[in-house]
A = this chain, B = another copy of it.
Amino acid sequence: MKKYLGIDIGGGSIRGSVVDESGKIYSEHRETTDRFSENEAFLSAVERVIEKNFKSEKFEKIGIGSPGPIDIDTGFIFSSANLVNLKNTPIIPHIEKKFNLPVRFNNDANCAALGEFHFGKGKGFTNLIVLTLGTGLGGGWINNGKIYNGYKGNGMEAGHVTVVMNGAKCGCGQNGCAESYFSARGLVNRYKDSTGDTLGSAADFFSLVQKGNPVAMQVLDFGINALAELIRNLIHITNTEKIIFVGGLTRSYDIFGKQLIEKVNEIIFPVFRNYTKIEVGSTLAGTLGAAALCFEI
């Protein structure tokens, strides 16, 4: 079976794994990154991950998943919220030239969708959406068995779908995006709106909910409804067969999942109620989805 190297660029580390089309992992290596790395140091770290894996296992292609904004046509990372000094980083041209191997590139949400499609809860479905519930809210769409890239890879900016016109300020500069109500940043900021208190994390927020804090419960209730409206919008536009949640907030799915599904079923057109399935994804290494970029032509 053919083997591919998947590279997952995260905030604190770059991980690489050689995997085959069945999802079997043959090697794993990582390099930690400094939040303040500039282009050159960052690219050197990516090179080291590739070299270490290459010593363990041979592979035919490389797939790289990166947070955005990226340009999949040119293979550049424009910038990164977690690696603050990256700027127009020519990651794909650089790696292709250095290793003389084909390199595939996409954003992390699209890679997560591809991972679920090939190896996780999306197996057997050809039209599915993965929502990444983390610091922000991202989306990746598999349509007709392929990533829907849209324009330069910006397809499915699910977090920046407006559900509350003139609503809360979002990190994107606009108002009322789904992300501003249901994401780690959104929940913490909406809690701050009401109390003035800055919580350290989404875990702190959900801990307050579990202790019965009325403000936190109200913020969560509104956030669940906003996420349900986002899901309604995605279903009414794409008629997707499946919506899969991944990311840190899914650890609290026990707290919000039941209410969310009930709300979605209340507000979507009846024809979709028994059609679109909604659930939490598999716990997959990010490198698997990146490697799966190589499966496509």
Contact = CB atoms under 8 A, between A and B. Distances in A.
A20 to B, nearest CB: 30
A165 B271 contact: no
A269 B241 CA distance: 27
B162 A269 contact: no
Contact of A160 (B164, B166, B238, B269): B269
A269 B237 contact: no
Contact of A237 (B165, B238, B267, B271): B238
A176 B269 CA distance: 14
Taking the full assembly, how many copies of this chain does it contain?
2
| Residue in A156, A158, A166, A232 whose Cβ sees the most chain B Cβ within 10 Å | A232
B239 A161 contact: no
Contacts of A172: 269
26 contacts: A69-B271, A143-B143, A150-B238, A151-B239, A151-B271, A151-B272, A151-B275, A155-B237, A157-B237, A157-B269, A160-B232, A161-B232, A161-B233, A162-B163, A163-B163, A164-B164, A164-B165, A165-B226, A165-B229, A166-B225, A172-B269, A174-B232, A174-B267, A176-B229, A234-B237, A237-B237
Interface of A: 69, 143, 150-152, 154-158, 160-167, 172, 174, 176, 225-226, 229, 232-234, 236-239, 241, 267, 269, 271-272, 275
